[in-house]
Amino acid sequence: MATTRVIVLNGGSSSGKSSLARALQEQLPRPWLAFGIDDLVDALPPALREPTPDLDSGAAPGIGFAPDGTVSVGDGFRVLEAAWMAGVAATARAGAPVIVDDVFLSGPASQQRWREALHGLDVLWVAVRCDPAEAAARERARGDRTAGMAADQAARVHRGVHYDLAVDTTRTPPAACARTIAAHLAARA
């Protein structure tokens, strides 16, 4: 496990990525930092979390959440996202192993942005799958997500993305999924 510096967890909203990241932190033999896309969104200024269209281009500058659960991102968000990715990569390069919890809204283009930021680091790419109906039920129970987000993202975020490993959190608890990932890391070392 000494060579892998980054674990990237990709899955839709309410798929269990954050719980899985915490379970990994508990099970892996050395300390790993966890960074989630929700942390970036929470750190954005309000003007970029509730974007208004740019009058010249008609595009939203930040991140927007439509009533049907779809998410859109604009250039302002992408600039800050790139800086965040570079910071996460710098943390891994400085010696701290990192778990990334992300939602690849643009599928392979999202993965490519991470590949560029993490260039030269040993990365384990993990699909975090969850049945859309189960993810929607979790979304309703959470109450902090726009209804429809989980269903919209459940399959879409995985299209065209290449992984080293996949886990399914529909009926498998985070601790068991974490054991699967830890075993994969041990075999890979």
CA-based R_g, the chain, Å: 16
Residue type, 29: P
Contact between 31 and 95 under an 8 Å Cβ cutoff? The reply is: no
Query: What's the length of the chain?
Result: 189
Catalytic residue among 38, 122, 131, 168: 38
The dihedral sign for the CA sequence 44, 45, 46, 49: negative
Active site residue 38: yes
Residue type, 46: P
162 vs 108: CA distance, rounded Å = 8
181 vs 167: CA distance, rounded Å = 8
Please give the positions annotated as active site. Answer: 38
